Structure 1
Amino acid sequence: MPRRTLDSLVTQVASELMGVDATTLVAATERVLASLIEHFDVDFCYLRRTDRERRATILVAEWPPRQAVPDPDPLGIVYFDDPDPAFKAVEHATEPLIVRPGKAFTPYRDIARRTAGITDLTSAAVPLLSRGTPIGLLGFIKLGDREWSTRELNVLKAIASLFAQLQARVEAEERLRYIAMHDDLTGLANRRALLEYMEERLQPGNPGPVAAFFLDLDRLKALNDFLGHTAGDNFIRTLSTRLREHLDPADMIARLGGDEFVIVPAKPMEAVEAELEGTRLQQLIARRVTVGEESVSRAASVGVAVGIPGEATVADVLRRADHALLSAKSGGGNGVAVFTDAMRAQFELQDDVELNLRSAVSDGSLLLHYQPEVDLRTGRIVALEALVRWQHPTRGLLPPGAFVGVAEATNLAGELGRWVIRTACAQFAQWRQQGLASNVVIRINVSPVQLVSLDFVESIEDTLRSNGIDGSSVCLEITEHVVVQDLARTQLTLRGLKRMGVQIAIDDFGTGYSSLSHLKALPVDAVKIDRGFVQRLGVSTDDLAIVKSIVGLAGSFGLGVVGEGVETAVAARTLVGLGCYRAQGFLIARPLPPEAVETHLAAGRIPLDLELPRVSRTAKH
Structure 2
Amino acid sequence: MNETDDRQARILIVDDALANVGLLLDALEPEFDVQFATSGTEALFLLEAGAQPDLILLDVAMPDMDGFEVCRRLKADGRTRDIPVIFLTAEDGEHDETFGLALGAVDYIAKSSPMAIVKARLRNHARLVMQERRLQREIAEHKAAREQLQVAGMVFSASSEGMLLVNADNRIVAVNPAFVALTGYGPEDVVGKDPKLLQSGRHGPAFYQAMWAALEATGTWRGEIWNRRRNGEEYAEHLTINTIYDEAGKVHLRVALFSDITEKKASEALIEFQSCYDALTRLPNRRLLAERLALASERAHRDRGRVALLYIDLDHFKEVNDTLGHHQGDALLVQVAHRVRRCVRESETVTVARLGGDEFTVIVPDFEGMDEVERLARAIIDSLSEPFRLGDQLAHVSASIGITVFPDDAADTDGLLRNADQAMYAAKRAGRNGYQAFNPEMQRAMSMRVRLSQALRDAVQAGQLRLHYQPIVELASGRVRKAEALLRWEHPEFGEVSPAAFIPIAEDCGSIHCIGDWVFERAACQAARWRSRFGTDFQVSINVSPRQFQAGGRDFGRWLERLGELGLDGSMLALEITETLLMDTDQAIADKLAQFRAAGVQIALDDFGTGYSSLAYLKEFRIDYLKIDRTFVRDMTPDSKSFLLSEAIVTMAHRLGLKVIAEGVETPQQYALLERIGCDYFQGYLFSRPLPEDAFEGLLRSASCEAVCP
TM-score range, shorter chain: 0.5 to 0.7
1:159 is aligned to 258
**Cα distance, 1:313 vs structure 2:** 1.8
Aligned residue for 1:282, secondary structure, equals helix
Is contact 1:215-1:300 (8 Å) kept?
yes
Change in Cα spacing, 1:510 to 1:185, as seen in structure 2 (3 Å) is farther
Note the C-alpha offset of 1:557.
5.3
Shift of 1:300: 1.6
Secondary structure of the equivalent of 1:215?
strand
Letter in 2 for 1:479: S
Query: What secondary structure, in the 3-state scheme, does the structure 2 residue paired with 1:509 have?
Result: helix
Which residue is 1:68 aligned to?
A: none
State the match for 2:587 in structure 1.
516
1:333 aligns with 2:424: no
- Tell me, yes or no, if structure 1 residue 479 matches structure 2 residue 545: yes
Q: How does 1:25-36 map to 2 (within 5 A)?
A: none
Aligned residue number for residue 578 of structure 2: 507
Q: Residues 533-585 of structure 1: CA distance to partner in whole angstroms, max 9, x if unpaired? A: 965x6xxxxxxxxx76xx54664454679699897969x989989x9959xxx
State the distance in 2 between where 1:485 and 1:534 align.
Answer: 25
Which residue of structure 1 lines up, in the alignment, with residue 343 of structure 2?
Answer: 246
Cα drift, residue 515 of structure 1: 1.6
| In structure 2, distance between residues paired with 1:173 and 1:231 | 30
Gaps of at least 5 residues in structure 2 are 1-81, 87-100, 111-163, 173-178, 202-225, 240-251, 598-602, 633-640, 655-659, 679-710
* Amino acid aligned to 2:185: P
User: Which has the larger displacement, 599-608 or 486-495?
Assistant: 599-608
Deviations 1:233-279 (A, max 9, x none): 43223212322343346543333444332222355565443222222
Write the mapping of 1:195-274 to structure 2, written as runs, cut at 5 A: 195-203=290-298, 205-206=301-302, 208-226=305-323, 230-248=327-345, 251-268=350-367, 270-274=369-373
The match for 1:171 is: 266
The answer (yes or no) to whether the contact 2:467–2:486 under 8 Å persists in 1 is: no
1:527-546 correspondence to structure 2 within 5 Å? none
Residue 465 (str. 1) matches residue 519 (str. 2): no
Q: Could you list the runs of 5+ residues in structure 1 that have no partner in the other structure?
A: 1-6, 21-35, 45-89, 112-123, 141-150, 375-380, 414-446, 538-546, 583-587, 609-621
Q: Does 1:96 align with 2:185?
A: yes
Q: Give, as a single letter, the amino acid of the residue that structure 2 aligns with 1:507.
A: T
Tell me, yes or no, if structure 1 residue 596 matches structure 2 residue 662: no
| Kept in 1: contact 2:184–2:229 (CA 8 A) | yes
Q: Give the drift of 1:217.
A: 2.0
**In 2, Cα distance between the equivalents of 1:92 and 1:553?**
72
Instruction: Tell me: CA distance 1:395–1:504, structure 2 relative to 1, closer, same or farther (3 Å).
Output: closer
Which digits, 9 at most, give the CA deviation of each residue in 1:2-21, with x for residues without a partner? xxxxx99999999677469x
Letter in 2 for 1:473: Q
Take 1:606 and 1:264, find their aligned partners in 2: how far apart are those partners? 60
Give the SS at the match of 2:666: helix
Cα deviation, residue 462, structure 1 = 0.8
- Aligned-pair CA distance for 1:199: 3.5
The answer on 1:315 being equivalent to 2:414 is yes
Question: How far off is 1:464 after superposition?
Answer: 1.0
With over 3 angstroms needed to count, the CA separation of the structure-2 counterparts of 1:356 and 1:168, relative to structure 1, is closer
Deviations 1:290-325, CA, capped at 9 Å, x for gaps: 133332322221111112299612222122212212
Which structure would you say has the larger RCO, counting Cα contacts within 8 Å and 6 or more residues apart? Answer: 1
Quick one: distance in 2 between partners of 1:566 and 1:293? 42
Residues 63-82 of structure 1: CA deviation (Å, up to 9, x unaligned): xxxxxxxxxxxxxxxxxxxx
Q: What amino acid is aligned across from residue 449 of structure 1 in structure 2?
A: C
Contact conserved, 2:483 with 2:540, CA < 8 A, in 1?
no
Q: How many residues align?
A: 446
- Supply the distance in 2 between the matched residues of 1:313 and 1:197 (Cα, whole angstroms): 12
Per the TM alignment, residue 337 of structure 1 is displaced from its structure 2 partner at its CA by 0.9
Choose from 498, 510, 514 the match for 1:449.
514
Residue 211 of structure 1 contacts residue 274 of structure 1 at CA under 8 Å; is this kept in 2?
yes
Maintained 8 Å contact 1:127/1:135: yes
Q: Which entry has the higher C-alpha Rg, 1 or 2?
A: 2
Return the letter of the residue paired with 2:544.
I
Q: Which residue of 2 aligns with 1:303?
A: 402
Residues 395 and 310 of structure 1: is their aligned pair in 2 closer, same or farther, counting only changes over 3 Å? Answer: closer
- Aligned-CA RMSD value: 6.3
Alpha-carbon separation, structure 2, partners of 1:220 and 1:561: 32
Q: Which amino acid aligns with 2:500?
A: G
Deviates more, 1:218-227 or 1:498-507: 498-507
- 8 Å CA contact retained: 2:312, 2:400: yes
Counterparts in 2 of 1:108 and 1:460: CA distance versus 1, 3 Å: same
Return the alpha-carbon distance in structure 2 between the equivalents of residues 39 and 529 of structure 1.
Answer: 92
Does residue 277 (structure 1) correspond to residue 380 (structure 2)? The answer is no
Q: Percent identity between the aligned chains?
A: 20
CA deviation map 1:203-227 (0-9, x unaligned): 4745542211122222222233345
Q: Distance in 2 between matches of 1:565 and 1:293?
A: 39
Question: Residues 173 and 600 from structure 1, CA distance in 2 versus in 1: closer, same or farther, beyond 3 angstroms?
Answer: farther
| Aligned mates of 2:469, 2:357 — CA distance in 1 | 36
Residues 197/294 of structure 1: CA separation in 2 closer, same or farther (3 Å cut) = same
Q: What CA distance in whole angstroms lies between the structure 2 residues aligned with 1:247 and 1:257?
A: 20
SS at match of 1:320: helix
Residue 514 (structure 1) shift: 6.1
1:27-176 paired onto structure 2 within 5 Å: 95-97=184-186, 99=189, 127=229, 136=235, 156=256, 158-161=257-260, 164=261, 167-176=262-271
The one-letter amino acid paired with 2:401 is: V
Contact 1:471 1:500 in 2 (8 A): no
> What is the alpha-carbon distance in structure 2 between the residues aligned to residue 220 and residue 291 of structure 1?
13
8 Å CA contact retained: 2:171, 2:194: no
Going from structure 1 to structure 2, the CA distance change for 1:487 and 1:268 (only over 3 Å counts) comes to: same
Amino acid at match of 1:448: H
- Deviation string for 1:344-401 (max 9, x for gaps)? 5645765897899999x999999888999x9xxxxxx999977668999999998543
TM-score normalised according to structure 2 size: 0.47
Question: Partners in 1 of 2:324 and 2:606 — Cα distance?
Answer: 17
